[in-house]
Amino acid sequence: MPNRLATEPSPYLLQHADNPVDWYPWGEEALEKARREDRPILLSIGYSACHWCHVMAHDCFEDAEVAAVMNRLFVNIKVDREERPDLDQIYQAAHQLLAGRGGGWPLTVFLTPDQTPFFAGTYFPKTPRYNLPGFIDLMENVARAWHERRGEVLAQNAALREALAEQQPAAGGDAPLTAAPLAQAVRDLAQAFDPVWGGFSRAPKFPRPGELFFLLRRAQAGDAQARDMALLTLRRMASGGVVDQLGGGFCRYSVDEQWAIPHFEKMLYDNGPLLQLYADAWAMTGEALFRDTAEGIVGWLLREMRAPEGGFYSALDADSEGHEGRFYVWTPDEARALLSAEEWSVAAPVYGFDAPPNFENTHWNPILAKPLAEVAASLGIPATGAAQRLASARARLFAAREKRVRPGCDDKQLTAWNALMIAGLAHAGRVMQRPDWVAEAHAALDFVRAKLWRDGRLLASCKQGEARLNGYLDDYAFLLDALLEALQAGFREQDLAWACELADALLAHFEDAESGGFFFTSHDHEALITRPKPGYDNATPSGNGVAAFALQRLGHLLGEARYLDASQRCLRLFHAHLTQMPVAYPTLLAVLDEALVLPRVILLRGPQPALGEWVDALAPKLGVRDMLFALPNGAALPAALAKPEADRPTAWVCSGTACQPPVTALSGLLA
C-alpha cells in the first residue's frame, strides 16, 4: 500500500510513496507524533535527480527488513531539499558540526522530538561496505543512545543549538570599506587554481559560477590574471563531458579534474548562471566555443525543460533504466555504426571516440578532445567541410539518442531557480542580441507572476498549476535581480512596478532592520531550531548577496534611499567575513565593488526603433558596472525615470547623484 507520501506533489517524495517505510512528509502530524510517543525522528533529505539518493532508496528504503526497523524505532520523515531549502540548510550545517565534515545528499539525520539533531550522516548501505556501517546496526545503536544515554544526548543538543546560533553573523562594525577583499579574493583563487584544467579544486569539480562571475568582473577592471583564470576554466568546462556535447546544458559537477565525466543530473539552477557567464565570455573574446555553449544551454532548456503552462522544470535525473548516465554514453561500436566513414573520420577524434572509453572503461562520454581545425588539417580537408561532417554526425547521434529511455524529469517549477534562469536568458539575450531569448525570459516572468505571486507574497514551488510553500529569501532576491536584468534587456512597465513591490516585500518580510542582512525565512515562517542568515555562496549565490546587489542597483536607478540603506546594512553585517575569507563571498564582493565605485545608470528615452539602434551600438561599450535602460515614449514611469519625450533618442548618464547633461547624438554618447 502507498504511504503518506502518495498525496504529496513533490516528484522526489512520490519516488518513495511505495516504500514499506511509514514515511511522513515534514509537518505537524509527524512532529506531534514524535513528541507524544517520545520517539526520535529519522529525517531523510534528498532530491529527485540525485544518484546516491536512488542507491540508498534501493538498498534501504525499498527493503522490508530495513523498513521494519525504521518503523519500529523512529518517526520517519522524508524531505525534498528543493522544496524545503530552509530545513536542508539547517541540517546540513548540523551535519558539519556533528560529523566534522561537509554533508550532501542523501542527508540522513536523527533528531530528538524537539527537532534537534544528535547524529548525522549521508548515504548508508544496508550492510557494512565502503567503510560505512550497515544501516540496521546504525539505527539500533542510535535508538539505544536515545533511550539509554539521554542525558549525554540532551547535553550535546544544547551545545549544538548554541553552536548553530554562533554561526550567525555578528552585527557589523564601522570599519571603512576598502577594495582589499577584492584583491585578496583574486590571490586566494590564484593559489587554488588548476592551471592545466581550470577550476579551483581537485576532483570532484563543480562549476561554481559565483567565483567565475567575480573573476570576469575583475577582468573588466583590467586584471589580466583574473581574466586568464576565468576564461581557461570556461574553455575547459565547455570542452569537457560535464557539458552535454550533443544536446547542450551542464551537469551538476565532474567527478574528475578534467571535467570529462559528470554525475549526469542536470539542474536548472546551474544552467541559468552558466548561460550568463558564457554570454559574457563570448562578448569579451568573440570565441565561437563560448557562443556555441550558450546556444547549447538555451537549446536544451527550451527543448527539455520548458513547461507547457510556462516556466521551467527543476532537474533531469542522473539515471535512466536504473543506470547512471545510460542516456548519454556510447559503447565503442554503437557510435561508429550510426555514422558514415566521412562523419566518423571527424567525429571520432573531435569527441574522443578514437581513444579508450572514458566512462567505466566500457563507454564513451563525448568530450571535445581535439580542435576541429586540427582534425581538418590532419585529414587534409577544408575547415568548412569538417564542420559540415561534424554537424551531420552530431545530428545523427542526437537523433539516435532521442530514441532511448529518457532520464526522469522533476517537473516542479521553483521560483528561485526559474529566477536564475530568467536572469541568464535576459542577460545573454541582451549581450548576444537574441531578442527571442529575451522574449522567453519575459514569458517565464509572466508565468511566475501569474502562478507564484499572490497577495504581495511569493510562493516557492508550483506543480501542474498548483502553487505552494511560503517563499524564501532566495525566491525574492533572485527574482528581483532577474527583473533588473529583464528591464535592461527589454523594458516593460509592469516589470519595474513589480520590482518595486518585490523590493518592498523583501524589506518587510526578511530584513533584520536592527542588525542588518536578511533571514533565509520570512518573519512569519514556521519556527525551526535556528533561523539562518546565509551570506556565503554555495552552488547557488547567497540570498543576502543577491538581495544586497539588486537593492543597491534598484536604489541607484530610482534614487530610493531605503533600498540603498538596506543594501549597505547587509554589506556592513558581512564586512568582517569578507575581510577574513573573501573567496567564500563572491556575490557580496560584487556588492562591495559597486559600493566603492558606484554603478553608472544610462537612461535612453525616445521612439522605437531608434532606441533599439542606440542600444545595439552601446552594447559592446558597456562595462560591468553599467546599467542601460531604454525607456520608450509613452511608457508610464516613476518620477526618477520620467525623462522628457522627444522625436529622437536622448540619453542621461548618472553615477550616484551626479548626472551629466543630456546627450542627443549617439556619437557623443559613445564617446
Query: For 150-173, what is each residue's pLDDT tens digit?
Result: 999 999 999 999 999 998 898 767
Q: What percent of the chain stands above pLDDT 90?
A: 96
Domain annotation covers residue 174: no
Domain annotation covers residue 256: yes
Co-location of 622 and 588 in the same domain: no
Domain annotation covers residue 339: yes
Co-location of 432 and 300 in the same domain: yes
Domain annotation covers residue 288: yes
Q: Which residues of 505-536 are buried (b: 16+ CB within 10 A; e: fewer)?
A: bbbebbbbeebbbbbbbbeebeebbbbbbbbb
**CA-closest candidate to residue 279, choices 244, 330, 246, 234:** 234
Contact 536, 89 (CB under 8 A): no
Residue-range definition of the domain harbouring residue 570? 181-320+410-596
Residue that is last in its domain, among 403, 438, 466: 403
How many CB atoms are located within 10 Å of the residue 284 CB?
A: 17
Half-sphere exposure (Cβ direction) of 159: Cα atoms closer than 13 Å:
9
Co-location of 203 and 125 in the same domain: no
Q: Is residue 250 helix, strand or coil?
A: strand
Mention every residue, 6+ apart, whose C-beta is less than 8 A from residue 621. 670
Single-letter residue type at 665: A
Domain annotation covers residue 499: yes
Taking CA atoms, 250 is separated from 15, 266, 355, in Å, by: 24, 6, 23
| Pairwise pLDDT comparison (255 vs 173), residue with the higher score | 255
Q: Which residues of 576-602 are buried (b: 16+ CB within 10 A; e: fewer)?
A: ebbeeebbbbbbbbbbbbbbeeebbbb
> Torsions phi, psi of 603, nearest 5?
-105, 130
Check whether 560 has a pLDDT greater than 90: yes
Q: Is residue 454 helix, strand or coil?
A: strand
Residue that is last in its domain, among 378, 403, 428: 403
Q: Note the pLDDT of residue 259.
A: 98
Query: Cell triple for residue 538?
Result: 554555495
Q: Which helix (H) or strand (E) holds 428?
A: helix 415-431
Q: How far apart are CA 621 and CA 283, in angstroms?
A: 10
Half-sphere exposure (Cβ direction) of 403: Cα atoms closer than 13 Å:
5
Whose cell is 560535464? That residue is 242
Q: What angle do CA 382, 385, 389 make, to 5 degrees?
A: 140
Question: What is the chain's mean pLDDT, rounded?
Answer: 96
Check whether 532 has a pLDDT greater than 90: yes
Domain annotation covers residue 566: yes
Q: Is residue 404 helix, strand or coil?
A: coil
Average pLDDT of span 422-447: 98
Domain annotation covers residue 421: yes
Check whether 215 has a pLDDT greater than 90: yes
**CA-closest candidate to residue 243, choices 224, 266, 209:** 266
Q: Note the pLDDT of residue 439.
A: 98
Q: What percent of the chain stands above pLDDT 70?
A: 100
Co-location of 141 and 230 in the same domain: no
Domain annotation covers residue 173: no
Q: Note the pLDDT of residue 235.
A: 98
Co-location of 529 and 623 in the same domain: no
Average pLDDT of span 395-418: 97
Co-location of 341 and 297 in the same domain: no
How many helices (H) and strands (E) the chain has is answered by 25, 20
Contact 483, 502 (CB under 8 A): yes
Co-location of 307 and 430 in the same domain: yes
Model pLDDT for residues 293-306, shown as the tens digit of each residue: 999 999 999 999 99
Q: How far apart are CA 497 and CA 594, in angstroms?
A: 24
Model pLDDT for residues 602-633, shown as the tens digit of each residue: 999 999 999 999 999 999 999 999 999 999 99
Co-location of 127 and 246 in the same domain: no
- Give the pLDDT band (50/70/90) at residue 506: very high
How many CB atoms are located within 10 Å of the residue 500 CB?
A: 16
Q: Note the pLDDT of residue 170.
A: 84
Q: Note the pLDDT of residue 586.
A: 98
CATH number at residue 476: 1.50.10.10
What is the tally of structural domains in the chain? 4
Model pLDDT for residues 89-122, shown as the tens digit of each residue: 999 999 999 999 999 999 999 999 999 999 999 9
Contact 137, 73 (CB under 8 A): no
Query: Cell triple for residue 511?
Result: 530584513
Mention every residue, 6+ apart, whose C-beta is less than 8 A from residue 49. 265, 266, 267, 314, 315, 316, 317, 318, 407, 408, 410
Co-location of 542 and 656 in the same domain: no
Q: Note the pLDDT of residue 61.
A: 98
The residues with which 42 forms a beta bridge, in sequence order, are 76, 110
CATH number at residue 370: 1.10.10
Query: Cell triple for residue 151?
Result: 542525558
- Give the pLDDT band (50/70/90) at residue 656: confident
Length of the chain: 671
Co-location of 553 and 610 in the same domain: no
Q: Where does residue 52 rank: exposed (0-12), middle (13-18), buried (19+ CB within 10 A)?
A: middle
Average pLDDT of span 133-148: 97
Co-location of 135 and 222 in the same domain: no
Check whether 526 has a pLDDT greater than 80: yes
* Cα 583 from chain centroid (whole Å): 18
In 486-610, where do the E strands start and end? Answer: 600-606
Query: Cell triple for residue 25?
Result: 512528509
CATH number at residue 19: 3.40.30.10
Co-location of 486 and 631 in the same domain: no
Q: Note the pLDDT of residue 657.
A: 82
Check whether 125 has a pLDDT greater than 80: yes
Residue that is last in its domain, among 131, 166, 201: 166
Check whether 453 has a pLDDT greater than 80: yes
